[in-house]
Amino acid sequence: KAGVTQTPRYLIKTRGQQVTLSCSPISGHRSVSWYQQTPGQGLQFLFEYFSETQRNKGNFPGRFSGRQFSNSRSEMNVSTLELGDSALYLCASSLSGQGTDTQYFGPGTRLTVL
Amino acid sequence: DAKTTQPPSMDCAEGRAANLPCNHSTISGNEYVYWYRQIHSQGPQYIIHGLKNNETNEMASLIITEDRKSSTLILPHATLRDTAVYYCIVLPIGSARQLTFGSGTQLTVLP
């Protein structure tokens, strides 16, 4: 079974631009979560989607948004990029996101904002 | 997340067992212990989880103390590819996934 895939793997943008990242979960997984990872802040939860609905949201500004499609694929968007948005963005999928469902992570998208 | 405490770094000789400790003295009865690892610049990888019994899978063994206040992840025969940051986290049963990693333990397997 294929793992979680994320595209693109690397991205360079400038301040003020916007960016869209894509995540394809493991087949059959319906929950997709997004995380931001930086050396200073560690791993931080952005949001979780299940059945095309945002089920949980972390403490990030409204510039960070996401959506999930009927095939469970998900995208996240960051508008008006800031230098501090430079990070590894990780997507993780699980069957339902409940109970002891294990989350499986993708390789991440490395975003650099100049 | 201050729920777990891990040593910042450990070394292990290749072929030997790597024993990574984790303290979670405030764990609640409905919380599982999970272990993930992250090889440099890659996404985190799930290793194992447990509630109160010892667990073993193809990657590792998890030993949880009887009072559940600490646990040890054991990699029975460490290889160079096991060099990574290892994260121990506690998660409540029945909650949606909102993982938070602490600083973890940098395990370096030496040739």
User: Sorting pLDDT into bands at 50, 70 and 90, what band is A1?
Assistant: low
A chain contacts of residue B6, beta-carbon cutoff 8 Å: none
A chain contacts of residue B103, beta-carbon cutoff 8 Å: 42
B chain contacts of residue A99, beta-carbon cutoff 8 Å: 93-94
What pLDDT does A96 receive? 80
Size of interface A-B (CB pairs under 8 A): 63
Strand partners, B105: B86
Query: 3-class secondary structure for chain B?
Result: CCCCECCCEEEEECCCCEEEEEECCCCCCCEEEEEEEECCCCCCEEEEEECCCCEECCCCEEEECCCCCEEEEEECCCCHHHCEEEEEEEEECCCCCCCCCCCCEEEEEEC
CB-based contact A101 B44, cutoff 8 Å: no
**In the predicted model, what is the mean pLDDT of residues A84-96?**
94
CB-based contact A90 B44, cutoff 8 Å: yes
CB-based contact A35 B42, cutoff 8 Å: no
Segments in chain B below pLDDT 50 = 1
Residue A97 near residue A10, CB atoms below 8 Å: no
